[in-house]
Amino acid sequence: MNLLLIGGLPPPVGGTTVLFKQLVDGLRGRDNICLRVIDVSRPTVARTNNVVHALRCLALLFWYLRWASVLSFQTSRRGAITFGPLVHILSRFFRRKWIFRGFGGDIDTWHRNTSGILRWVFDHTVLQADVLLIERKASVKYFQGQSKSSIQWYPNSRHYSEASPTIPATSDRSRRFVFVGHVKPAKGIGELIQAAKLLAPTGITVDVYGPLQDGISHSWFADSATNYCGPITKEAVIQTLAGYDVLVLPTYFEGEGYPGVILEAYCAGIPVIATRWGGIPEIVTAETGLLVEPRDVQGLAEAMQMLIDSDHLLATLRHGARSKAAEFDADRWTQYFIDLCQQLSTESRS
């Protein structure tokens, strides 16, 4: 099977580029797949300019479509709107089956709130792909009512192993809480700092890892019960999480789908305190964590206090987190993608 993938590879490192690279790496080296990749990540000024880069991607698309059995375009909402119609038109011109994979949790919200020519173009191109792979179950249900194409759930995923690190049992109530991600206001950092101050008398540890963004500086963490520990590499996230008791993600970031750090916490065997926001309630359940309302400092502190007070609840949620991790195993979803492509390839030959 000749398979063409279009999407953005790192750099920059982000949710969509990491996921796309994960699938590309999972497909390379397969005996039954000949893979070509068009990297649409915007280049730096030092490499070339955006116009030349766009023309290069377009030329590669024309060239590889003559060869490909199946094409998959994998992008965020913005990429779907700007480049998706062209991918659809060329795929139909060359009579190739194609799969659209949408990253993030806001594509259905955008569609509901959009009208006029932009929505018409999207409906008559991207929504006419042979298969649409959507991250959130709620989004799948919505688009199944908007398109006759095959709309399937294809979640965020991470590499899971039964041998993933586990947390040693704590002998006291001095819980270790952790945040990993982009350190910016929309991720709830301000609320986390305030909640930690309320709980400081309990002796908790709250460590924050990630790049400082959107006006947050080291001074935010001064005289607080929260420690800023700097950024860490993607490869070190699961091992780092395994040194803590609970991941805290009080996000209200627009377009939040299935945050990868929650799945990484499950792989590390730790539960999650997060917000009822975006796609999070679909993956954080009563078996794996606690949910609070966005921007609710008191509610966040109370959820953290519950896990400080109850060893039994913490142990139960740890077990649930480890069980949940297998559902989002990257190898499982890569094989699902391969099976889907093989099915489309067979259909195109018949």
Q: Each residue of 236-272: pLDDT tens digit?
A: 999 999 999 999 999 999 989 999 999 999 999 999 9
DSSP secondary structure string for all residues of 229-270: -----GGGHHHHHTTSSEEEE----TT--S-HHHHHHHHHT-
Amino acid 171: pLDDT? 47
Q: Which of 327, 226, 317, 221 is nearest to 272 (CA)?
A: 317
Q: How far apart are CA 8 and CA 259, in angstroms?
A: 18
pLDDT at 350: 74
Contact 93, 243 (CB under 8 A): no
* Beta bridge partner(s), residue 2: 34
Q: Does domain 176-327 have CATH number 3.40.50.2000?
A: yes
- SS (HEC) of 281-343: HHHCCCCCEEEECCCCHHHHHHHHHHHHHCHHHHHHHHHHHHHHHHHHEHHHHHHHHHHHHHH
The pLDDT of residue 165 is 56
Domain range list for the chain: 2-157+329-349, 176-327
Q: List Cα–Cα distances, 54 to 63, 73, 156, 180, in angstroms.
A: 14, 15, 27, 33
Crossing angle for the helix pair 311-325 and 260-268, to the nearest 10 degrees: 110
pLDDT tens column, 135-189: 999 999 999 999 999 999 999 999 988 655 555 545 455 799 999 999 999 999 9
- Cis, peptide link before residue 12, omega less than 30° from 0: yes
Tell me the DSSP string of 205-220: EEEEES-B-TT--GGG
User: Quick one: fold of 2-157+329-349?
Assistant: Rossmann fold (3.40.50)
* Sequence letter at residue 190: G
Of 4, 129, 21, the closest CA to residue 57 belongs to 4
pLDDT for the residue 169? 47
Assess contact for 260 and 155: CB atoms under 8 A: no
Q: Tell me whether domains 2-157+329-349 and 176-327 share a fold.
A: yes
Residues of the chain with pLDDT under 70: 43-48, 162-173
| pLDDT at res. 277 | 96
Q: What is the DSSP letter of 43?
A: P
